[in-house]
Amino acid sequence: MDVIEPSVFARQKSNGQIITMQSIEIINGLNKSYDLIVDVGCGDGDVSKNFLGKHIPHKQIVAIDCLPDMLGYARIHNSDDQIEYVLQDMGQKWPDMSPRVRELESKVDLIFSNLALAYIPDKRQLVDTFGRLLSTGGVFHANIELMEDINKRLASYGRPPPKQQWYQSPEKQLDVWRQSLSSDNQFLVKQLEIMDVCWPTDRQKMIDFMPIVISKYRQFFTDRKDFDNEFNDHLWDTAFDALVNPTADTPNPRAWQQFLADTNIKEVKRYHKLLRITAIKQ
């Protein structure tokens, strides 16, 4: 994935905290014990330390991220005796995972992930990995940002049709998760729910956040040149418009450029569809 600057990311966080606390209530409500917790895509470690660490009884948390700078930041700002920060790209196949991750096989009581799994393209492989890591009866719980339906919007802008349907609709993304979780009967799905959230975001945070949004769309392009050539110029307008103007009858094909030009806009509301999953390893 693209590099996210840890300090930029840390300033984006306040919007996600209600979601995280709801998740903790759901997890504790299952009345299970969670000695070993894995936090996938832990980012700056704030959720690992201050949410999971403080509100879910545990013995150890293994907090995983694929960005060395993010883990460096987490180790400085959110260190804790019970948290081990581990560098690992969770999009890798199981045999290619580090020995540290593989030695957790069948030992994990809770896999938690907050706003990170949208960045990992192969959901089926990811679910297989989670199935390997969890003990029988272990819990997988995640909040996942769904990507907006960019195909539809690009068409309505009257722009040349893309060479292929690069982006999945939210319904398709939900379907991919449903099918991945039901394959091989590894999981009993307790919750697969889409939530609509609206997050007010001030101007500078929006400017900092847009590259993170764009980086999620790059995963569909095997060749980065394809992405740059075909979409880069209008993806920023399209993706921004979809975030701030999701139900408009008339999409605005210059939304991002107009926002940048109008310095009187001090805040925007961004609308996300989040998928919440709770599943039990059988």
Q: What is the DSSP letter of 118?
A: G
> Within 157-221, where are the H helices?
170-182, 203-218
Strand, helix or coil for residue 257: helix
Stretch 77-96: interaction string toward ligand SAM, x if CB under 6 A? ------------xxx-----
Residue nearest to ligand SAM (CB): 43
Instruction: Specify the residue, 46 or 109, whose C-beta has the smaller distance to ligand SAM.
Output: 46
Question: Is residue 119 a contact point for ligand SAM (CB under 6 A)?
Answer: yes
Count the neighbouring beta carbons within 10 Å of the beta carbon of residue 183. 13
Output the six-digit token pair for 143. Answer: 């909040």
Instruction: Specify the residue, 209 or 252, whose C-beta has the smaller distance to ligand SAM.
Output: 209
Q: What is the DSSP letter of 159?
A: P
How many whole angstroms separate alpha carbon 16 and alpha carbon 232? 28
Provide, rounded to whole angstroms, the least separation between the CB of residue 260 and ligand SAM: 23
Which position among 38, 53, 104, 114 is part of the footprint of ligand SAM (CB under 6 A)?
114
Task: Report yes or no: 67 and 3 within 8 Å, Cβ to Cβ.
Answer: yes
Q: Which of 40, 17, 30 is nearest to 279 (CA)?
A: 30
Q: Which of the residues 27 through 86 are near ligand SAM (CB under 6 A)?
A: 41-43, 46-47, 64-67, 70
Question: Is residue 139 a contact point for ligand SAM (CB under 6 A)?
Answer: no
Please report, as ranges, the residues that interact with ligand SAM according to CB under 6 A. 1, 4, 13, 16, 41-43, 46-47, 64-67, 70, 89-91, 114-116, 119-120
